[in-house]
Structures are given as C-alpha cells and as structure tokens.
C-alpha cells in the first residue's frame, strides 16, 4: 500500500521519532510504513489521520490493480 | 507515556520475572542436592514456587506483547511461530533419534529449550533487520 507519510511528516517538520511519539509506536514502525514494507492497522491509520487532520484515503492509497 | 519508555519498562519487568524464574529453577535443581538432601517436602515447595513464578513470567510476557505496536507484534508473532515449528519438528525428530538409537546419548529437554531460544532469537534479529 502506498502512502504519503514521509511527505506529510516533512510538511509538519516532524522527524520519524516525533511522529512515532505522537502515534504511540516505535520509530522503526514509522520507517517501515514509509518504505512500504509494512501496512499499518486500521486504528494506527486513524491515528495518522488524526495527527495530520486528513482522511485516511488522503494518506494511504490502495495498490493499483493490473 | 512515550512508547519507547513504556516498552523499556515492560521489557525490564519481563527480564525481572524471567531472572526470578531461572533462579527458582536453579533452587529446585541445586537446592535438592546441596541444601535439603532431596527431602520431598522441600522439593515440592521449591517446584511450586518455580511454577508460580513461571506463571507470573508468562502473564508478564502476555502483557508485554499486548503493549507492543503493530510491527513489533508482527515480528514477535513470526518469531514465535518459527520457534514453535522448530520445537515441534526439531523436538520430535530429536526424540526419534534417541528412541531409534541413532544417537548414543539421551535426548535432553534442555537441548530443545536451547534450540527454541536460539531459533526465536535468530528470527527476531532477522525480522528486525528486514524491517529496519
């Protein structure tokens, strides 16, 4: 699943550690999500939505089907 | 509380109970030999203490796993499933080696425990590297 986490984080001048603190997860988790190695759970996606004040679909995009 | 601080505290609690459990197991094994000369009452009491502390260790581990974030839970789940698989497959194969007299010594449960621990540790390290 694609996401705009890195861009949104940069817009707010957050480091990965800052975002991890706000979302209540480890920095490793933020890094893995940004790199597309790991998809967050729905509660965590809602948490990001709350932090960035955006809808979930404005942060995460489903993979494009062929 | 900050996630990494709460995780560290949970891990310290788990390490404490694990340490106590190991010490209580040592008390069972060495106490019988060096302290109470294999008197059944003392051995039963020491084993009871060991089991009670073991239950506390398991409960602390459950609460620690629950406190992990999504990715850490996934990494733990993968490591536990690998360790369980290794325990079942490796343990039964090791036992079969013993019962069929392929190996000249008895299959010891401690070897299996070490194998489970090592496979859990290796899979945690590999997964952490993968999601780095």
**Interface ipTM:** 0.83
Distance from the Cα of B58 to chain A's closest Cα (Å) equals: 23
Mean confidence (pLDDT) of chain A: 92
Q: Report the distance separating Cα B78 and Cα B124, nearest Å.
A: 8
Give the pLDDT confidence score for residue B131 in this predicted structure.
87
Judged by CB atoms closer than 8 Å, whether chains meet at B3 and A37 is answered as no
Of B2, B7, B71, the CB nearest to A32: B71
Residues 6+ apart with CB under 8 A from B116: B83, B86, B87
Q: Do A37 and B7 touch (CB under 8 A)?
A: no
Residue partners of B59: CB distance under 8 A and separation at least 6: none
For the question of whether the overall pTM of this predicted structure is more than 0.80, the answer is: yes
Task: Give the N- to C-terminal CA distance of chain A in Å, as an integer.
Answer: 14
- Does residue A66 have a pLDDT over 80? no
Tens of pLDDT, residues B64-104: 999 999 999 999 999 999 999 999 999 999 999 999 999 98
């Amino acid at each position: 699943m694609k996401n705009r986490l890195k861009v949104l984080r940069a817009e707010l001048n957050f480091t990965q550690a800052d975002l991890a603190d706000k979302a209540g997860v480890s920095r490793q988790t933020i890094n893995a999500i940004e790199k597309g190695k790991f998809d967050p759970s729905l509660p965590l996606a809602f948490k990001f939505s709350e932090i960035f004040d955006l809808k979930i679909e404005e942060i995460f995009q489903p993979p494009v089907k062929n | 509380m900050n996630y990494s601080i709460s995780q560290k505290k949970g891990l310290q609690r788990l390490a404490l109970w694990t340490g106590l459990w190991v010490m209580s197991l040592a008390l069972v094994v060495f106490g019988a030999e060096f302290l109470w000369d294999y008197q059944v009452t003392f051995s039963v009491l020491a084993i009871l203490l060991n089991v009670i502390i073991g239950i506390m260790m398991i409960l602390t581990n459950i609460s620690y796993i629950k406190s992990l974030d999504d990715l850490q839970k996934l990494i733990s789940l993968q490591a536990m499933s690998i360790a369980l698989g290794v325990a079942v497959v490796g343990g039964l194969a090791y036992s079969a080696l013993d019962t069929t007299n392929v190996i000249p010594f008895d299959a010891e449960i401690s070897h299996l425990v070490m194998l489970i621990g090592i496979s859990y540790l290796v899979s945690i390290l590999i997964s952490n590297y993968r999601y780095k």
